[in-house]
Amino acid sequence: MTPEEYTIDVRGLTKRFGARTVVDDLSIQVRRGEICGFLGPNGSGKTTTIRMLCGLLEPDAGDGTCLGHDIRRESRQIKLRVGYMTQRFGLYEDLTIQENLDFVARAYGMRDRPGVVRAALERLGLDARRTQLAGTLSGGWKQRLALAACMLHEPDLLLLDEPTAGVDPKARRDFWQQIHTLAADGLTVLVSTHYMDEAERCHRLAYISYGKLLAAGTAAEVIAQAGLTTWALTGEDLARASALLQQDARWMVVAFGTTLHVSAESGADLPAWLAERAPDMPWTITSIDTGLEDVFISLTQHATDNFQ
C-alpha cells in the first residue's frame, strides 16, 4: 500500500493538557473510500485525535499526513477538504434548515449558493422541511441537517464524532445507509461511536482507551487478536453465578438480559472452574463466539487510567 492510497496516515500522535497525556503515541492509517470506526470509552482521546487530524489542534509530538497534507504545516489545506460533524449540534437553532445551509455555504465562499443549498436539501430529504426552524427538529432530523452542512463543500474526508448519539434506531439505520452510499462514491469516513452494531458496519476499526491504541483491523481481526474464549450462562440465580465469578480476576462477566456472558483468555476452563466451586450449580454453560462488545469491555478493563 503506497502512501498515496491513505487518506489518513499519522504516527506517534501525542497531545497533553497540563500533566495529563490525552493521546499517547497514536498511529493510525485509513485508506481512501474506507469507513473506519473509531472506538473507545468516554475520555479515551477520540475527539482530541479527530481535532488534531483536521487541524483544529496541534499535536505535541508525532507527524503524518491527512489528505496528503502535513498535519502540522498544512492544516489550512486540510480544513478546506474535511467535513467535521461534532458531537453536539453546532448549527443555529433560531434559523431554518435552509438558512443554516446558506450560512455554511457563505462561510465556505461557495458560488451559486442557492443551487448548492437546493441540491443538499434534495440529497438528504430535507426539502419539505426547509423552512422549519432547526431548534424544533428531532434528534434524527438535526443529525441529517448537520450531515448536509458538513457535506456542502464536497469534502474528501468526513470526520464524524459520535454522530448518532441520542437518535432513534431508524434514524441511525438511515444515517448509516447514507454513509455507505457516500463511501461507495469514494469518500473516506472516520466515525467515532459507542454502538457495537455500528462498529460492525465499518470496514475497519481502531480502538483506543486512555489515549492508547489497543487494537486495529477488521472486526474479525480485532476479535481474533483479543484471544478470548466466551461462554453463555443461563438458568436460575444468575446473580449468585456473577458474584462467584467476580471473585476471580480472570473472568470478565457481563449481563445480557437473562444470560451472563463470561470471557477469559484462551485456555481457561469455565465449566471445570464452576463445577469445582459450585457442584450443585443450576446453570447451563454454552460456548459461544466472542463478540466485539466482549472484546471492547475486556480491552477497557485492562487499560491503564491516564489519570493515575
In tens, the pLDDT along 243-275 reads 999 999 999 998 988 999 999 999 999 999 999
CATH number at residue 187: 3.40.50.300
Together in a domain, 246 and 174: no
Mean pLDDT of 213-241: 94
Q: Is the same domain home to 133 and 270?
A: no
pLDDT at 303: 61
pLDDT tens for residues 137-160?
998 899 899 999 999 999 999 999
Boundaries of domain holding 282: 228-289
Residue 302's pLDDT is 66
The whole-number pLDDT of residue 1 equals: 46
- Asked if residue 276 is part of any domain, the answer here is yes
137 within some domain:
yes
Residues 275 and 216 in one domain: no
Which tens digit of pLDDT belongs to each residue from 84-110?
A: 998 888 899 999 999 999 999 999 899
Same domain, 238 and 213: no
Tell whether the model's pLDDT for residue 75 goes beyond 70: yes
Return the exposure string of 202-224: e unless at least 16 CB atoms fall within 10 Å of the residue's CB, then b. bbbbbbbbbbbbbbbeebeebbe
Q: Which of the four pLDDT bands, split at 50, 70 and 90, describes residue 123?
A: confident
For the stretch 56-67, what's the b/e string if a residue is b when 16 or more beta carbons lie within 10 angstroms of its beta carbon? bbebeebebbbb
Average pLDDT, the chain: 91
Residues 82 and 218 in one domain: yes
Query: 57 and 204 share a domain?
Result: yes
Is residue 299 assigned to a domain? no
Does some domain include residue 65?
yes
- Tally of domains within the chain: 2
Same domain, 280 and 145: no
Q: Residue 306 is placed in which grid cell?
A: 491516564
Nearest 5°: phi and psi at 28? -150, 145
* Domain finish residue from 207, 223, 239: 223
How far from 64 is each of 11, 21, 68, 74, 266, CA to CA, in Å?
6, 19, 9, 11, 37
Strands 228-235 and 20-31: unpaired
Asked if residue 67 lies in contact with residue 158, where contact means CB atoms within 8 angstroms, the answer is no
Same domain for 191 and 276?
A: no
- Whether residues 236 and 95 fall in one domain: no
194/257 same-domain check = no
> Residue 237 maps to which CATH number?
3.30.70
Kindly state the average pLDDT of the residues 171-188. Answer: 91
Q: Are residues 205 and 234 in the same domain?
A: no
* Claim to verify: residue 241 and residue 172 sit in the same structural domain: no
Element (H, E) at 247: none
Report if residue 306 sits inside a domain: no
